[in-house]
Amino acid sequence: MSTPRPKVGPPQPWTFPAPVEHVLGNGVRVLVHDLPGQYVLSVRVVVPTALSAEPVGKEGIGAMTARLLDEGTAAHGSEEFAELMERHGMVLGAGVSDGGLLVDVDVPQRHLATAAALVTEALAQPVFPDDEVRRILRNRLAEIEQERASSAHRAARELARTLWAAGDRASRPTAGTTESIASLTRDDLVEFHATAVGPRGATVVVAGDLTGVDVLGVLEGTLGTWAAPRHRAASPPAAPVPAADAARVVVVDRPGSVQTEIAVGRPGPDRSTPDGWAPYPVLSFVLGGSPSARIDAVLREEKGYTYGIRSSFRPRVAGGSFVTSGSVRSEVTGEAIEILLGILDGARDGFTDAEVRSGVDYVGKTAPGRYATADAVADETAALALERLPLDFTTRNLRAVAGLRRDDLDGAYQQVATGEWSVVLVGDAATVVPTLDGRVGGPVSTVAL
């Protein structure tokens, strides 16, 4: 005797946690989330920088500067610094996006003061020891080779090169190329740090259980003392310029591959887009966000060609992209790409009410769980700060999602999906290219790995 299928109760109202806002003596903005029960604190520092301002031939200078922040400071050598972090259960990462430098720290609550002091040292007084500069640059060169060997990384790199205009910074890897990294010197890094990394426009986010913690006292005594006299405010980033010949197929020859990595892209919006960001996460879900989404319903569940293909709108601080990616077994590459492009183009004819409902419900109702940890809350608030979005953006956007109708989704998708796809296929060219015959329109070129 089976138990009858239960009814589902309505979700409880929920809003993204609102941070408390302060400004430190040196002008640094502070956003604090007290989240009881989150014993590991997440600290984020964002400094607006413009990736597009990296000098030609020195691409990756921002990313290398970020990686060297904790490799030796005025007060501590690289190993000493690492030892202090390890003994306090701290983990630090640093990198750059198109619009900023981000330092990301997780630390148990009781070590916040130590962590804040070390982050301040790393941001304000890195000394770029010769040895460490050589090591970090050499490791980046090896990393480039590791990325080349990975189909997914190689596809992402080729898609950027195909999608964006040749002169645009977005067409080249954020962390630099073999040539640009090889040209960097310690002096370049010191100068970049002095002028691009400073407290002007910076925001600190602290999220977690702050019971008994004097957050402002700690931050005033650490990041509040950060000064950088030569720091120049970054110009606001501009959206990347698409390539004139973006609509084409590029095969990256990776001999011996048993699968073809597919990446299909178009320029897309950022989260400040005037018509509203709400439709885009819903579109991602409906097209390529689950085994039942339009793409996997055919390529995975019906055909068995793939473990899974995902579509997502990827906002940058300025501009963005719509990317569909995944891998299929080599022999079926032509058929799979024809089906995939057919689904992406076919969606311009519109979505069903059932699809809109399921996507709206998924995006809206998963929000409380997606933002349930200090990590996730800190990441979102830091992103809002860097994207210059209001702090209630997340909540207001979820309200907008709840009100989406078919027309909203259709209109948003038709703006992005014009039928002019950049298609990158990383696989065994000898196997793959013959399968494309008659399956794809436009020019097909083959490049080396």
Partner 1 sequence: MPLDYPIHRRTLPNGMRVVVSPDHTVPNITVNIWVGVGSRHESPGRTGFAHLFEHLMFQGSRDVRSGEHFEALMAQGGRLNATTWFDRTNFFETVPTGAVELALWLEADRHGHLLDAVTQENLDNQRDVVKEEKRQRYDNQPYGNALIDVYAAVFPQGHPYHHPTIGSMEDLDAASLADVHAFFRAHYGPDNTVLTLCGDVTAEQGFALVERYFGDLPADTAPRRPDLEQLAPLDTAVRVERREVVPNDRLHVAFRLPVDETDEFLAAAVALDCIGGLAISRLVRRLVRREQTALGAHATAWGLVDGVSLGFVVLDVAPGVDPAHVEAAFVEELESFLEHGPTGIELEASLAQSERSWLSALASQEERADLISHHLLLHDDPDAVNTHLDRLRDVTAEQVVDAARRWLRPDSRAVVAYLVAADGVAGTQGVA
> Among 198-206, 322-330, 342-350, 438-446, which window interacts with partner 1 (CB under 8 A)?
322-330
DSSP state of 358: H
**HEC letters along 185-225:** CHHHHHHHHHHHCCCCCCEEEEEECCCCCCHHHHHHHCHHH
Task: Give the integer Cα–Cα distance in Å for 151 and 258.
Answer: 11
Q: Is 186 in the site for partner 1 (CB under 8 A)?
A: no
Site for partner 1 in 187-226 (CB under 8 A): none
From the CA atom positions of the chain, what is the Rg in Å?
A: 24
> Among 24-32, 54-62, 149-157, 438-446, which window interacts with partner 1 (CB under 8 A)?
149-157
What 3-state class would DSSP assign to 107? Answer: strand
Task: Give the integer Cα–Cα distance in Å for 69 and 202.
Answer: 16
Site for partner 1 in 393-432 (CB under 8 A): none
For 166-198, b/e burial (b = at least 16 CB within 10 A) is eebbbbbbbbbbeebbebbebebbbebbeebbb
> Cα 14–18–24 angle (5° rounding)?
170
Q: Is 291 in the site for partner 1 (CB under 8 A)?
A: yes
Residues touching partner 1: how many (CB under 8 A)?
A: 78
Q: Is 328 in the site for partner 1 (CB under 8 A)?
A: yes
Q: Is 138 in the site for partner 1 (CB under 8 A)?
A: yes
Q: Is 94 in the site for partner 1 (CB under 8 A)?
A: no
Q: Is 327 in the site for partner 1 (CB under 8 A)?
A: yes
Q: Is 310 in the site for partner 1 (CB under 8 A)?
A: no
Q: Smallest distance from the beta carbon of 119 to partner 1, in angstroms?
A: 16
72 vs 269 by CB, closer to partner 1: 72
Q: Is 350 in the site for partner 1 (CB under 8 A)?
A: no
Q: Is 36 in the site for partner 1 (CB under 8 A)?
A: yes
Nearest CA-CA partner of 118 in 66, 65, 48, 69: 69
Q: Is 358 in the site for partner 1 (CB under 8 A)?
A: yes
> For partner 1, which residue of 191, 362, 396, 406 counts as binding (CB under 8 A)?
362
39 vs 167 by CB, closer to partner 1: 39
Q: Smallest distance from the beta carbon of 437 to partner 1, in angstroms?
A: 23
Q: Is 448 in the site for partner 1 (CB under 8 A)?
A: no
228 vs 424 by CB, closer to partner 1: 424
247 vs 426 by CB, closer to partner 1: 426
Q: Is 150 in the site for partner 1 (CB under 8 A)?
A: yes
In one-letter notation, the amino acid at residue 360 is V
For 249-266, b/e burial (b = at least 16 CB within 10 A) is bbbbbbeebebbbbbbbb
Joined together, the tokens standing for residue 240 give 């990347």
Task: Give the integer Cα–Cα distance in Å for 252 and 405.
Answer: 40
Q: Is 108 in the site for partner 1 (CB under 8 A)?
A: yes
Q: Is 95 in the site for partner 1 (CB under 8 A)?
A: no
Whether the CB-CB separation of 303 and 435 falls below 8 Å is answered with: no
Task: Give the integer Cα–Cα distance in Å for 223 and 123.
Answer: 9
3 vs 229 by CB, closer to partner 1: 3
Q: Is 17 in the site for partner 1 (CB under 8 A)?
A: no
Q: Smallest distance from the beta carbon of 48 to partner 1, in angstroms?
A: 28
Task: Give the integer Cα–Cα distance in Å for 353 and 364.
Answer: 16
Q: Is 86 in the site for partner 1 (CB under 8 A)?
A: yes
Q: Is 294 in the site for partner 1 (CB under 8 A)?
A: no
> For partner 1, which residue of 21, 83, 345, 420 counts as binding (CB under 8 A)?
83
Task: Give the integer Cα–Cα distance in Å for 20 and 29.
Answer: 11
Q: Is 90 in the site for partner 1 (CB under 8 A)?
A: yes
Joined together, the tokens standing for residue 75 give 């007060």
Q: Is 87 in the site for partner 1 (CB under 8 A)?
A: yes
Sheet holding 444-448, edge to edge: 306-315, 320-329, 259-268, 422-427, 249-253, 444-448
Q: Is 374 in the site for partner 1 (CB under 8 A)?
A: yes
